[in-house]
Chains A and B, each alone.
Chain A
Amino acid sequence: MAGIFIYSEDTNVAQQMLTMGRELADKMQQRLCAVTIFEQDAQDLVDAGADKVFVLKGDSAWPESYAPAVADLAAKEEPIAIFIGATLRGKDLAAKVAARLKSGLVTDAFAVRLENGDIETDRVMYGGLAVCTEILQGTSVVTIPPRTFDMPAKVSGRAGEIVKLDVTVDSTMAVGNVCPIVRQGADIATAEKLVCVGRGLGKQEDMQLAKDLAAALGAEIGCTRSIAEDYHWLPNETYIGLSGQKVKPVLYLSMGVSGQVQHVAGIRDSKIIVAIDSNENAPIFAAADYGIVGDLYQIVPLLTEAIRNK
């Protein structure tokens, strides 16, 4: 087994993973290889730290259909580990690659490190309640969520080998009707500040409280799963949690959010967590830096006013 593989159909995510991959490859004295389906991005991947780039050239624009090709390449090269960007397309491909290689697959690893010569990963289980640490065995596949690692410092024109391979793609499915999801407002996954609405809010009209607070803060508005899925007060793309958006704002401020474990898993990387809720025993307070126990209908307007007057 030799080399460390990085793959993502999103070249930004691939470059973020090269930051981690470079460090690991240097420590293990291994070659760092990027695999891409975009020929035009190959030099970018070298500039970002890859020693070698495999460009898979096939007759499909659908990234998922390259799973057999990625697996064939890995079977031939036998890397120590294959890191794949944990976009949904990446997760689909990763599972197919792992099945073909008969290897393990760690989903959504948030930490990767070398420990006594082995690669170890951390991921959450039970909706964010627990962390599972695994030691990789054999050629293992690991998916890494976007933005887990920072972009590497790029060296323009860095030397690296680029190899183009003609590959066969999976053509058992027909894909069409691709529509971008039009977001109302900004992408909350990258928002600097967030106001999060939970079930403590009594009715949809009261969303104005959140809107006023968000406007005063210059924040975007997110919500818990039930606000989006059961009440439809906000679009599905704005619910925060393990199966929704994972956010990492500088300030996360919740109003009427109880703090179920799956929700807290989505806000864990926030710098400052603030909670406002009437239930002193709500689990959100254990996850918060600052909080107010009180009626949000009293607290939020006062807070909005206080922030406006700053």
Chain B
Amino acid sequence: MPNIIACYKWVLDEQDIKINPGNLALDTSRAKCKISEYDRNAIEEAVLQVDKCGAVVASLTFGTSVAKQSLKDALSRGPEKAYWVNDTAAQTADGFVTANVLAAALRKIGDYDLVLCGEGSADTYGQQVGPRVATLLGIPVITFVTEMKIEGNKVIATRKIGDCTETVTADFPVLVTVLPEINKPRIPSLKQVLGAAKKPVTEWKAADLGLATDELSPKNKVKSIKGFVMNRKNVIYKEGSPTEKVASLAATLAKEGVL
């Protein structure tokens, strides 16, 4: 019965973020949070292994106090228990910091055979935390996985790498990062949501994991985060009959020399 840890990040929902047209600053005041989409695939894949090979699944997240709301959501998706590293360092964390924290938490958990992560997070999409964590733990990592199975103490996974697929096999303990196409995450039922409240949660601070200040300090310096401006012509034909609108568009495209 393998022990599986599914990692996830509690992120701002980008659909709720507004851009201030004047200074291009991001307004996140009305943004709700969500479990990063790709990480839902990671949790789902972990939970699917419960039926397939009797796996025992826990979730792990690193976030600020805001991430408390995520625990019920994560647990309603199937894990038996949750680990939460609750630290303000998450506010400024980059891939370096996040990987240090998750690797330290996994060392403290100790008994893991398989760690599952999404290929990247919905907010920064740095696509690095999984392989970084594996490197820090000194375990193999299989990235960009579309299909996986556990056989004994091995993971056999299919990766999709641009223009080819390949099968990679590694012994436990191993870390796998999943692509969205690996599964379709469940929508938790009311019973699962209610049941989630009763599941155990272990909460740690970064200090409980023995992490030093430099391990919690991001590497590169963020100079600015601004709204991405698209400078486009925005000539939109709204009025007139379909024939007139098409004639206008066709004439314009011909003039642009793109037909």
Contacts and interface: CB of A to CB of B under 8 A. Distances in A.
Given A92-B143, A107-B127, A133-B222, A229 B180 contact: yes
Interface stretch (B2-10, B59-67, B80-88, B235-243): B235-243
A231 interface: no
A89 to B, nearest CB: 6
A287 interface: yes
Interface string A289-302: 11111110011001
Contacts, number: 243
Given A107-B125, A174-B168, A298 B242 contact: yes
A271 B258 contact: yes
Interface string B201-232: 00000000000000000111111111110101
Most A CB contacts (10 A, CB to CB) among B139, B160, B171, B230 go to: B230
B188 interface: no
Contacts of A102: 96
A175 B166 contact: yes
A173 B168 contact: yes
B78 interface: no
B140 A172 contact: yes
A135 B219 CA distance: 10
B168 A88 contact: no
B241 to A, nearest CB: 9
Contact of B164 (A135, A178, A306): A178
A307 interface: yes
A251 interface: yes
A91 B258 contact: no
Given A250-B258, A288-B234, A103 B219 contact: yes
B249 A307 contact: no
B254 A310 contact: yes
B17 interface: yes
17 contacts: A95-B130, A131-B228, A137-B220, A138-B219, A172-B170, A173-B140, A173-B169, A178-B166, A181-B165, A229-B181, A272-B256, A288-B234, A289-B233, A293-B238, A303-B246, A303-B249, A310-B254
Nearest to A92: B143
A285 B126 CA distance: 28
A126 B237 CA distance: 30
